[in-house]
Structure 1
């Protein structure tokens, strides 16, 4: 089948090839996760793992909350939003919160359009 020039193969994008899985660092009393690039069906699982890892810091009392510093996120789709919401549910069960720092306008619009914005308190830049 011939290639369709109007279709964009997202797997060829440079930010996909160079993106590293988000790690967790402790900043003050927050377990900070810093995702980079696109959060979509291909990268949402690594965000979920990083958020789960951050939750272990809260469970061991090395942190009292989780912050997702989204300053380097260029795109987030429903898969990324689902990863955030699933992690939030786990955080609530553990008695903590997940806040967002520096969400890009596209992510802010996604949160507003879906009604999820109130679920994620805004944090100061981490």
Structure 2
């Protein structure tokens, strides 16, 4: 059984050219109405996945990050966070290569769930 080790490490979306040279795969984002939810695979040791949420409008929300993988494994962050307009929050899941995975953002106050596109580790 693989133990999930999650690290609270800053992650920000990178351009594809810069990302490839730094061990990050292409950053994939989706517009969730009040901001962008993004994910990228991270190679190296330890390998994993970076997720971020850039809130561009709306009121302050309390949310959580999760990582959902196509291999039926899922991981959670270290707890809820509060985010306001103009802020970006991020998290790195240091869980090794799990194949294709996507970021999941759970808005605790509204019980809304949002997903990024799937990404893989380069």
Higher helix share: 1
Higher strand share: 2
The structure with the larger Rg is 1
TM-score interval (norm. to shorter):
under 0.3
Normalising by structure 2, report the TM-score: 0.28
